[in-house]
Structure 1
Amino acid sequence: MALVLGDPVRHAARRTAGLALGGASAFAELGFLLVAVPALAVPPLRERVFGAAGAIAGFERRRIEGYLGQAGAEGCTGHRAVQYLGVRWVVGGLGAGVLLLVLLGAVSAVIMVAQVLAGGAPGSFDVADGLDWYDPFTFVLFGTLLVFLTVQGLIGVAELDRRLARHFFGPTARELLRRRVSELTVSRADVVAAVDEERRRIERDLHDGVQQRLVALGVLLGRAARASGRTGAGAPVDDLLRQAHEETGRALLDLREVAWRIHPVALDSGGLHPALEALAETAGVPVRLVYSLAERPPGAVEVPAYFVACEAVTNANKHAAATRIDLEVSRTGSAVVVRVGDDGVGGADPAGSGLSGLARRVAAVDGVFTVDSPPGGPTVVTAELPCG
């Protein structure tokens, strides 16, 4: 119980100390600005002013991260640091004012309690004044209201201080645009590489699978035709025709496999959920499917989600020696999350052809793809696909 009560008290004390430190630094920052802003008009002093402003801004960032929570992830220098200090001292002064009111309220409460204990009414030490029956209720009511307002004021100043830091210490709009362009450039290159790799895979499947089976089918039919011209060759002809029929079935299966790699037809018939149910039934390993999406996601999300699940299940079945696979599809915020875990031997290489291809598929829709597969297992493959 002491731990449960102690943690919020320590948290509140830490934030109060951070606000007190920020209130004291606000007056120093105001003094710095009064000297630094006119000095900016002198070119030789400009770099020194910017350096000092950056150092003070760095102190404020460390204070916020140490006492109030996370600040921006980047530095603040030059004109931006001066601008930050120009706004920060106002917020710090507001925090100092709230803390001063808290102190005055605490002193006033002590004085009033002393007056009541002396037998007088709050606001008077004269015992003859007496204590009216409504004075305790008024004292408690207004005291509770003032405590609530001061606490809300402290919380508001702390949040304002954090937001101000995140704005100035975070990336600018131009920097965000530059990063986005860089991400799109990399994503476009990954899409092109994924398409080229998929084309090569389809070509290999056609050349090594379907083409070879069709050649074998032609050979069998040729042998059957030659055998049918000889007398008494009914049994060999029947056997060759049976083999040709079986080879035709294998060629059709290969063609379906190639067509599936281009676009899984199972998604068109019922969507992602039925397609994953069919995948779980034919996996060859027990698969526990947990599908918690309330509505069907768009096609741009369904296709990579299905490929991630199918490739991960296939890898667990073929390479991981898994005895159980957990397949979960859920929604976290605005993203569809596909998570495939198995109890296999682990050691999956994210740079391998299969997993790297999945990573590029996911990156093509601005998703996040991760593989956690330590030696000895277990392996967890996760894809977060934005679904705006």
Structure 2
Amino acid sequence: MKAMARSGLRLAAGLGLGAVAVVAEVVFVLLSALALLFVQTWPGPRRVVQRQVGHLARRLAEAHRRRLGTFLGIQCSPAYPDAQALSYIATRWPLGVLGAVVLFSVILGAGYGSLVIIGWFIPDVRYPVTLLVTGCAGLFLLFLAVQGVLGVATLERKLARRFLGPSRQEELQRRIEELAVSRAGVVEAVHDERRRIERDLHDGVQQRLVALGMLLGRAVRGQDPDRSAELLRQAHEESRHALTELREVAWRVYPTALDEAGLRAALETVVERSTIEVALTYEIAAEPRRPVATVAYFVVSEAVTNALKHSEASLIRVDVREEDSRFVLCIEDNGKGGADSSGSGLIGLAQRLAALDGRLAVNSPRGGPTIITAELPCV
């Protein structure tokens, strides 16, 4: 209910700002038409006036683009010519007037509709039937006005798409390019992951197993029972270390807790394995889809590992929440900062996120703190 109320207020604020902008738009359109009319027969001045009019139209269109994105959730591309900006401003002002009328109708309907409630608390109403009919009419007007608000918002979206937004073909082309880039990034991330696993096995587990074989060979060939017993004890220690490192590699490849107990349990395991304090805040009611949960786990795991290795931090905060149908991860540490967003680790995370239409933001000034924010679609 609160989310619906916030969405309604945001929508009303967006339409209200659009209605206020009508005055500037009408003045701009009239003055621009007069200026272009006066210089119509002079090519040089006409080009100068057209350039200035286009520049001002773009500034007004950019203000509307920000309004649409902030309040109505309509995202438009900034790559549009000045002529389309001028056409948008010239055709939008009637829609702004309609928005003002609809919002006024909402206020009027809410005012008259409240008479139905107020009538219950006023004793000795002189004309109860009139009060009831007026209140019901106000509620009906409120219902129609709310539908009108949604209709105006839809018209705003269509008009912005027509003049400011990319065409269907351009949007598909952009999507194809994004998919090609993300696919190449995923392939590169997979190769990097394989190289890292090979390096971990070669430098860690393999060296342990070589040392284990040498110790066992010396113990078999040895003539001194005490020396052989000592070598066997060392071989036993090496086998334990090799098993531990093998488990570490297997855990970094894919944690079994993610399938067995879900994302929260997997993240809690990351917290437990950390050598410094990690504060986890998990505010997700339902378990996310498996691809989203997998990417979210690796983002947190890699970010925590990087902080342990490079940040000299004493505290890491991990915040997992859901905002506007987006799965948001925020990892913050109080270390020295200076993290390189173009480094191989963070680039790999960005590529993982891009494969699911997610995005990664890194804010790490010198001196800290380092804040890594990742967003993924819930659906």
- Normalised to the residue count of structure 2, the TM-score between the two structures is 0.69
| Superposed CA offset, 1:18-72 (max 9, x none) | 323434566789999xxxxxxxxxxxxxxxx9x9999867655544555896365
Contact 2:57–2:82, Cα closer than 8 Å, also in 1:
no
| Superposed CA offset, 1:96-147 (max 9, x none) | 9x7xxxxxxxxxxxxxxxxxxxxxxxxxxxxxxxxxxx9xxxxxx9xxx9xx
Contact 2:276–2:314, Cα closer than 8 Å, also in 1:
yes
* 2:274 is aligned with 1:283: yes
Shift of residue 307 of structure 1?
A: 1.2
Report what 1:302 is aligned to.
Answer: 293
Shift of residue 338 of structure 1?
A: 1.3
Report the 3-state secondary structure (helix = DSSP H, G, I; strand = E; otherwise coil) of the residue aligned with 1:374.
coil
Alignment partners' CA distance in 1, 2:28 and 2:80: 17
- Equivalent runs, 1:78-117 vs 2, <5 Å: 87-88=91-92, 91=95
Report the 3-state secondary structure (helix = DSSP H, G, I; strand = E; otherwise coil) of the residue aligned with 1:300.
helix
Report what 1:138 is aligned to.
Answer: none
Alignment partners' CA distance in 2, 1:319 and 1:309: 15
Alignment partners' CA distance in 2, 1:384 and 1:234: 62
Report what 1:118 is aligned to.
Answer: none
Q: What is the letter of the counterpart of residue 22 of structure 1?
A: E
Report what 1:332 is aligned to.
Answer: 323
Contact 1:339–1:383, Cα closer than 8 Å, also in 2:
yes
Report what 2:183 is aligned to.
Answer: 188
The one of 59, 67, 70 equivalent to 1:70 is 67
> Cα 1:19–1:204, aligned 2, differ >3 Å: closer, same or farther?
same
* 2:156 is aligned with 1:166: no
Q: What is the letter of the counterpart of residue 359 of structure 2?
A: V
Alignment partners' CA distance in 2, 1:169 and 1:279: 45
> Cα 1:225–1:367, aligned 2, differ >3 Å: closer, same or farther?
same
Contact 1:23–1:93, Cα closer than 8 Å, also in 2:
no
* 2:23 is aligned with 1:20: yes
Report what 1:314 is aligned to.
Answer: 305
- Equivalent runs, 1:224-263 vs 2, <5 Å: 224-227=219-222, 230=223, 233-263=224-254
> Cα 1:95–1:317, aligned 2, differ >3 Å: closer, same or farther?
closer
Alignment partners' CA distance in 2, 1:172 and 1:192: 30
Shift of residue 261 of structure 1?
A: 2.5
Shift of residue 317 of structure 1?
A: 1.9
Shift of residue 179 of structure 1?
A: 0.8
> Cα 1:160–1:53, aligned 2, differ >3 Å: closer, same or farther?
farther
Shift of residue 385 of structure 1?
A: 1.5
Q: What is the letter of the counterpart of residue 67 of structure 2?
A: Q
> Cα 1:89–1:243, aligned 2, differ >3 Å: closer, same or farther?
closer
The 10-residue stretch of structure 1 (173-182 or 155-164) with the greater mean CA deviation from structure 2: 155-164
Contact 1:209–1:251, Cα closer than 8 Å, also in 2:
yes
Which structure 2 residue ranges, 5 or more long, are not aligned?
A: 1-13, 36-45, 69-75, 102-126, 128-133
Report the 3-state secondary structure (helix = DSSP H, G, I; strand = E; otherwise coil) of the residue aligned with 2:362.
strand
Contact 1:342–1:380, Cα closer than 8 Å, also in 2:
yes
Contact 1:370–1:381, Cα closer than 8 Å, also in 2:
yes
The percent of aligned pairs where both chains have the same amino acid is 46
The one of 192, 196, 200 equivalent to 1:197 is 192
- Equivalent runs, 1:114-129 vs 2, <5 Å: none
Report what 1:219 is aligned to.
Answer: 214
Alignment partners' CA distance in 2, 1:283 and 1:13: 51
RMSD of aligned C-alpha atoms?
4.4
| Superposed CA offset, 1:141-196 (max 9, x none) | 9xxx9xx99xx89x999968854652211211111111111110110010010011
Alignment partners' CA distance in 2, 1:348 and 1:266: 29
Alignment partners' CA distance in 2, 1:52 and 1:271: 63
